[in-house]
Amino acid sequence: MPKAHLKFALITGLVVTSYITFTLVAVNLGFKNGFIFKWFRSWLIAYFLVVPSLLFVAPFIRKKLNL
């Protein structure tokens, strides 16, 4: 796997999971005590799910779509 693909997956995963989890935690729980901890926990879980998807599922989809 090229280093560029790994860098892309890590950075894209960081950016996308950060704003999605922030938005969802803010909407569902509000900005109450412990918001940062709950957001960080949600972000960490999402990040560890997204990065492998970007590394292994995306190439399969790209191949199927002839991209």
pLDDT for 5: 85
State the pLDDT at residue 47. 97
Give the whole-angstrom CA distance, residue 59 versus residue 34: 38
- Over residues 8-33, the pLDDT tens digits come to 999 999 999 999 999 999 999 999 99
Both tokens of 35, joined, read 């918001």
CA 49-12-1 angle, to 5 degrees, is 80
Residue type, 66: N
Mean pLDDT, range 43-52, rounded to an integer: 96
Q: Evaluate if residue 64 carries a pLDDT over 80.
A: yes
pLDDT confidence of 62, banded at 50, 70, 90?
confident
